[in-house]
Structure 1
Amino acid sequence: MDASTSPSMPAPLAPHEPYAAEPSRGAPPETRPLVFESWQRCESCGVRPDGSRLPPLRRTSQDLAAYRSTHPLAAVMPLLRELLGSGAADDGHVFAVGDVEGTLLWVEGDTRTVARAERMHFAEGAGWSEGQAGTNAPGTALALGHPVQIVNGEHYNSAAHAWSCAAAPVRDPATGLLLGVVDLTGGSTIATPPALAAVRAAALAAEAELARGLPAPPVLLGPDGRPLSPPDAVATRCGADVGLTALGRDSVLLAHAGRVHRLSPRHSEIVVALALEGRGVPGGRLAVDLSEREVPPSTLRAELTRLRAALGPGLLGSRPYALLRPVRSDFGDVAALLAEGRAEQALDRYRGPLLPRSEAPVVVEHRRALEQQVRGAVLGAGDPRLLRRWVDTAWGADDAVAWRTLAHLLPGGSAQRAAAAARARALDPEILVPPQARRYAAQLQRSPS
């Protein structure tokens, strides 16, 4: 929100503003599909778009305090405050954390901006799911299961038209289930790519922190009595009998029952989406995962019918759609190794971006997230061998930060150091090496619009 103005009851839209107050009149052609589909969900839920009904206050302060103390995200609040909270307070923004139902548990930041946000019930204990507050970043991120940015008039409720927000969901690293959402809300600087990158990085950091708190897996022995390697241990623990290879390739290789299927690009996206979800997915949700454009239900059903025929019976379920056998994937192996802090082994297993040419939203999001995690682990390891391996790949060759970090780690006066420094300067003469990943995430959030 423009932090200077936030009346409790907003003025009606001026004629020149691009969004109609009533979605039934139809959204303008330039409206993003993500926003238009969210408006449709809000209309079906009976949300009022005219600002006459603010989100409900669902919890009292006493009830909220007890609930927050036992919520899983309470354990990562110090980390989230370090990554997003201090920057929000300094820059006039609001930093919020909500639960899986969209109830805001923590709302912090600049004192005056927090007070202005409270006028539209963006406050601790208020419900900000789509069904309660209309289209907004925290609620829509929870509805879709991936990071979302909502700018000014994209909000369904006109009470929020002066605000912009960016939010990312946080998942349980053990089960993949949603735990809640982290959000930045404020003015024009929140309507920028760095703000969205900041909440995405904070959510990934929170998931990594939660993963570190999980009990260590048992040491599993193979038939010969020797300990299994980490990838084999993952497969054995899960009882996986479907294997997916999707890193660095445009067509998934699916191994099942002694056969290997090379899937088409579209079927590859479907299988990866189902594997990432880890549980049944309704058709409407799967369509959103696969395309920002509307996918007719008949088209999706036809694709799934062809995929079922290709894979054979007993592997693909419907209503909801799901893979019916335990799955092990190369991208899952990399994520598991990263969660265990095994940067070198993760880099060994990382054969390239996940389905690099895919434009399916769920694939794009996980591709970026996994690459950021691998890159962050390599940068954070402080090992010139790993950095050299990273910059020698097609996806790391133009990483100026990695080249500069490599130059700093190599012996002074060496030809390799000079070459690495020259490469870094050629890519970006002004780039600075962030001393640690957390400060880098904070720097993204603070970047000007």
Structure 2
Amino acid sequence: MARSELQARRLESVRAWTSFVERGDDAVDVVRPEILTSWTRSEAAIAPDVTQAPLADEAETAASWQGSPLQTAVERVEAELRRTAEDGDLVIAVTDAQTRILWTYGGRVMRRKAETVNFVPGGRWDDESVGTNALDLANRTGAPEMVFSAEHYASIVHNWVCWAAPVHDPVTGAKLGVIDLSTSWDRTHPIGLATARVMARLIETAMPLSHQYAVLDQLDEASEPGLVMRLLGTAETWLDGQRLLLNRRQTEVLALLAMHPEGLSLEHLHALVYGDQAVTTSTLKAEVSHLRSALGGQLASRPYRLTMPVSTDVDLVLTLLRRGRVAAAVDAYGGDLLPGTNSPALAELAELVAVAVREALLADPDPDAVLRYGELAPYDTEVVEVCLNRLPHGHPAVPLLKGRLAAAER
């Protein structure tokens, strides 16, 4: 964007801010609705001439950061974050879910500017503490946000432009905080928002498995609280470490509820379980009633929804594949999902999981994983051939893979 355009845009934002702050006009036709809403929230909490963000307790902030999944992820990609900040003379900040800054790094000029307004670890950047800003907006909306010049409520950052994107736990979806990129308004660039989004994905990719899934990595039925289901290659269900004795249809109903934590109406569940089969809803209600009894009442109605923690090997395999941990996904993959199921939804899910595992191996044919997969799919010679073609002569896995190939071709 040409400097003259940026100057015009900045002037427009200053006029709208002045109209709102000094004359009480709502500026509804000038600024975005989310900015106006935040201005209103800010006006009720702070003065527009606030000089710096308030600081949270230093020891508490350090304790929240040390050993956290966010710290682990940021440290893994810190070189890339630092390079981005230095190349663009940006200050980059990572916050917690309350928009408290936990980590920053800045280029030479922006670092000094950031320090003067407490854009530093411990700085509280929710809009009720320091006024409208991109960190708070991204945290509230769950989407990447930009705040330019006087769109900030506090005049101390009217010379800034900020781009922020939320950071989530890639496994659980839990909101962890945001990453923000800030610089001076005259360095505004259309790629800023996309860069914030990329940096957020970079951190999420580097995130360690959450505690819940670190336990699930072994799928320890004996100690894992809540419902644990093995559905791949076998059908076994535990509740708080106790094995549940369920028939085939009850297992299918329970599996579908596990895959839909938001809940399912009676009609939707019936369609997923039976498809076009001529089965009455009263039959399904009877199965659900038995399940509710077996689960100690932890199955809500309207919609049908499980009310305890749920872990499945299907979620584990798909999560590992999303994270690029192909060998671990194959280890967790026990075979086809409920072979022979008559549920159209589960048959579709079974195909999705099987194809996802196979395609991941074709893209990344780890020899140990291919040998393990060969035990589950002994006639899938293409995966073995792709692996053999990528291995150097003399690799210790070559004879085993050739043996697997010969056995399949007999």
TM-score (structure 1 length as normaliser): 0.49
* Residues 13 and 149, structure 2, Cα contact 8 Å, conserved in 1: no
Q: 5+ unaligned residues in a row in structure 1: which ranges?
A: 1-12, 229-234, 245-252, 262-312, 317-321, 346-373, 384-449
Q: 5+ unaligned residues in a row in structure 2: which ranges?
A: 1-9, 222-228, 237-250, 274-300, 331-355, 366-410
Greater CA radius of gyration, 1 or 2? 2
Change (3 A) 1:211 1:64: closer
* Residues 314 and 324, structure 1, Cα contact 8 Å, conserved in 2: no
* Residues 149 and 196, structure 1, Cα contact 8 Å, conserved in 2: yes
What SS does the aligned partner of 1:54 have? coil
Distance 1:161 1:123 in 2: 18
* Within-5 A mapping of 1:273-352: 314-315=302-303, 337-339=321-323, 341=325
Deviation at 1:186, TM superposition (A): 0.4
1:145 is matched with which residue? Answer: 142
1:103 is matched with which residue? Answer: 100
Change (3 A) 1:63 1:331: closer
Quick one: which amino acid aligns to residue 57 of structure 2? R
2:73 is matched with which residue? Answer: 76
1:203 is matched with which residue? Answer: 200
Which residue, 257, 282, 303 being the options, matches 1:241? Answer: 257
Deviation at 1:58, TM superposition (A): 1.5
Change (3 A) 1:16 1:106: closer
Which residue, 122, 130, 144 being the options, matches 2:119? Answer: 122
1:405-440 CA-to-partner distances (Å, cap 9, x unmatched) read xxxxxxxxxxxxxxxxxxxxxxxxxxxxxxxxxxxx
Distance 1:205 1:242 in 2: 29
* Within-5 A mapping of 1:20-419: 20-21=17-18, 22-23=20-21, 24-44=24-44, 46-48=45-47, 50-60=48-58, 62-188=59-185, 191-212=188-209, 214-215=213-214, 216-218=217-219, 226=234, 240-241=256-257, 256-259=268-271, 314-315=302-303, 337-339=321-323, 341=325
What SS does the aligned partner of 2:125 have? coil
What SS does the aligned partner of 2:16 have? coil
Deviation at 1:211, TM superposition (A): 4.7
1:40-66 CA-to-partner distances (Å, cap 9, x unmatched) read 33234x222x22343101233x55434
Quick one: which amino acid aligns to residue 194 of structure 1? I
Deviation at 1:90, TM superposition (A): 2.9
Distance 2:39 2:140 in 1: 12
Distance 1:185 1:127 in 2: 16
* Residues 138 and 181, structure 1, Cα contact 8 Å, conserved in 2: yes
Quick one: which amino acid aligns to residue 259 of structure 1? A
Deviation at 1:18, TM superposition (A): 3.1
Distance 1:167 1:65 in 2: 22
* Residues 266 and 303, structure 2, Cα contact 8 Å, conserved in 1: no
Distance 2:187 2:15 in 1: 20
* Residues 254 and 260, structure 1, Cα contact 8 Å, conserved in 2: no
Change (3 A) 1:87 1:137: same
Higher relative contact order, chain-length normalized (CA < 8 Å, sep 6+):
1
Deviation at 1:258, TM superposition (A): 0.8
Distance 2:220 2:61 in 1: 40
* Residues 166 and 190, structure 1, Cα contact 8 Å, conserved in 2: no
1:280 is matched with which residue? Answer: none
Deviation at 1:111, TM superposition (A): 2.5
Change (3 A) 1:125 1:84: same
TM-score (structure 2 length as normaliser): 0.53
What SS does the aligned partner of 1:186 have? strand
Quick one: which amino acid aligns to residue 37 of structure 2? E
Change (3 A) 1:335 1:32: farther
Deviation at 1:212, TM superposition (A): 4.8
Worse overlay, 168-177 or 212-221: 212-221
* Residues 99 and 105, structure 1, Cα contact 8 Å, conserved in 2: yes
Worse overlay, 93-102 or 208-217: 208-217
* Residues 94 and 101, structure 2, Cα contact 8 Å, conserved in 1: yes
Distance 2:13 2:194 in 1: 31
Change (3 A) 1:94 1:225: closer
* Residues 97 and 183, structure 1, Cα contact 8 Å, conserved in 2: yes
What SS does the aligned partner of 1:30 have? coil
Distance 1:323 1:151 in 2: 44
Worse overlay, 32-41 or 101-110: 32-41
1:248 is matched with which residue? Answer: none
Change (3 A) 1:120 1:225: closer
Aligned residues: 270
Deviation at 1:88, TM superposition (A): 0.7
Distance 2:163 2:315 in 1: 26
Distance 1:239 1:174 in 2: 19
* Residues 147 and 162, structure 2, Cα contact 8 Å, conserved in 1: yes
1:128-173 CA-to-partner distances (Å, cap 9, x unmatched) read 0121111111122112222211111211112111101111121223
Quick one: which amino acid aligns to residue 54 of structure 1? Q
Change (3 A) 1:52 1:207: closer
What SS does the aligned partner of 1:70 have? coil
Deviation at 1:112, TM superposition (A): 2.8
Deviation at 1:207, TM superposition (A): 2.0
